[in-house]
Structure 1
Amino acid sequence: MAQQYRINEMFQTIQGEGVYTGVPAVFIRLQGCDVGCPWCDTQHTWHIADQDKTDLIIITDKSNESSRWAQVDSCGIIKEMQRLGYVAKHVVITGGEPCMYDLRELTLALHQQGYSTQIETSGTYKVQVADASFVTVSPKVNMKGGLSVRKDALLRANEIKHPVGTAKDIDALDALIQPLHKQLQAQICLQPISQKPRATQLATQVCIERNWRLSIQTHKYIGID
């Protein structure tokens, strides 16, 4: 039986963060997350309730921003992207926490149709994706859900995109990556939380000192989804 995915939202826009900033992309948002980040702007994706199940067309015909979800397999997802006339060839699978799902079937199917794929995960679940998928780990440390960032997720990452508010956030990242520094292949990106000036100044300074990369949420600056 084909793998089923709970889709909360699907839309076409520009990737606003990280290495792929500026690239046209289709975002597929999956329902379900137990990490518990206090600043999360998609808390409507956290819980999976049977009464919120609906049809895919209801999810994709307008911006969702609700806890509703549709259960679809990879074939159905690709067909819906084609029905909507999406032209972007880069697909970002996010959440919620997308790695609560086995994403190998979906990412392989997308690659076979000529798409590239990117996964945005907290690193608290095993990353099950196609070998060619680009994995962005945004490590969530000491969150309400009590989950630990996995070593294997960090080592699979192509990009480690870390939210920064204060120096403590830099210290938390160092504690994660220093034991793995000889094995890590990922580009390190620091992303100021909520575009706060002090956080931006701190992230910029550290990126210069360490030759890391600054990730600004450009979609919020230019006012797109």
Structure 2
Amino acid sequence: MIEAAMLSARQMFTPPFRAVLLKSLGLTALALVVGWIGLQALADHLITLENQTLTVVARVVAGLGTAFGMLFLVVPVTALVAGLFLDDVAEVVEREHYPNDPPGVATPLARGLWLSIRFGLLVLGLNLAMLVLLLLPGVNVAAWLVVNAYLLSREYFSLAAMRFRSEGEATALRRRHRLRVFSGGLVVAALALVPFANLLTPLFATSFFVHLHKRVAARDAKRLGTEESRPRLGP
């Protein structure tokens, strides 16, 4: 686990990752800025009090609240944007660290986009639902870590595994090693708590779970006395 995290961290700013990183960060920042401007404009339009001073104060408070609320959008937005590049990242990791293994098969574009949108909306919905926990210090952070660790581990492990096996086989593999996979999700969720570093979460998570999948699959194959699964063919 630690070795996989260190390998992923070292690879973040290498030349093969840099182009994907810049594109992902640029699109994520643009999406967040546009979202904040849109929400702020909506708040300014809706907040109109009889007292001008109160109106200004209310709009400022709403602006600060909107900026704080955008923190909850970082994970789903980065996941949605980076979903366009995850197969590129996985391919680089597989080529550099596992050159003797059969290469994975990229998820078809339409299906990959749908999986990214579905995951982004799921994470967004659950994070918005957890806003009610903001008034419970300590509990809110713990709940956020657990929920996002589960979601992130399930999604990114599945994406790495589905390059080599069907969705059903990937799910079965994840469930057989659920504690190890969830522990990996905690590592990624902890990174997502760090301001600015959380923008790197999808790329780090992809690399990390490619390594983790390789180790889990090898352990599974050894236990079952079979060869490592070959890449699946087709969607």
TM-score (norm 1): 0.23
Structure number with the bigger relative contact order (C-alpha 8 A, sep ≥ 6) is: 2
Q: Which structure shows the bigger proportion of residues in strand conformation?
A: 1
Larger Rg: 2
